Chains A and B, each alone.
Chain A
Amino acid sequence: DQQVKQNSPSLSVQEGRISILNCDYTNSMFDYFLWYKKYPAEGPTFLISISSIKDKNEDGRFTVFLNKSAKHLSLHIVPSQPGDSAVYFCAASVAQTGANNLFFGTGTRLTVIP
């Protein structure tokens, strides 16, 4: 049973434009959400996170939006750069219980075209 879903396996965007990656979850207990970035032959690296008490968190070119009522979050990258080309994983956790178990989506492959 997949509790975190990324329904778009791939996304292509022109350099300089906005990239929007989407993620949906089913477990209403999730209270912490993260995005990881993965290059080929490397492990995922932490990118940005958001707590359920917020609806937006920004870090440079990266912004994560959380819509709790819709159980949806999105990652915006503005402006997109060729170096952003990677697989992006959405993850969720029930952080307040102290559980460290991260539930991952299946990833979205972003290609930024120069």
Chain B
Amino acid sequence: EAGVTQFPSHSVIEKGQTVTLRCDPISGHDNLYWYRRVMGKEIKFLLHFVKESKQDESGMPNNRFLAERTGGTYSTLKVQPAELEDSGVYFCASSQVRVAEQYFGPGTRLTVT
């Protein structure tokens, strides 16, 4: 069974540019989560989808971040415009049952210069 996949694995962009991260959850997992780890800090929750609906987006830092999950399959996280403080590793996770064991993807390392 394929795990959670994320693309790209690493992205380097300049301040002010736009970046879109993609997450493909494990097939059949209705719950999809985005997390972020900024250098040296905790892994922080960003938002939670149940199928295509945003269940909880309380962790989204500001309106420069837009997450979508059209059709309830893969999800995208767009940062526009990117700022230096957005640099970090963005993790995606999925689970079959809400808050059950979450399976994490390898993460996307975003570097904003």
A and B assemble together: no
Q: Which residues of B contact A (CB under 8 A)?
A: none
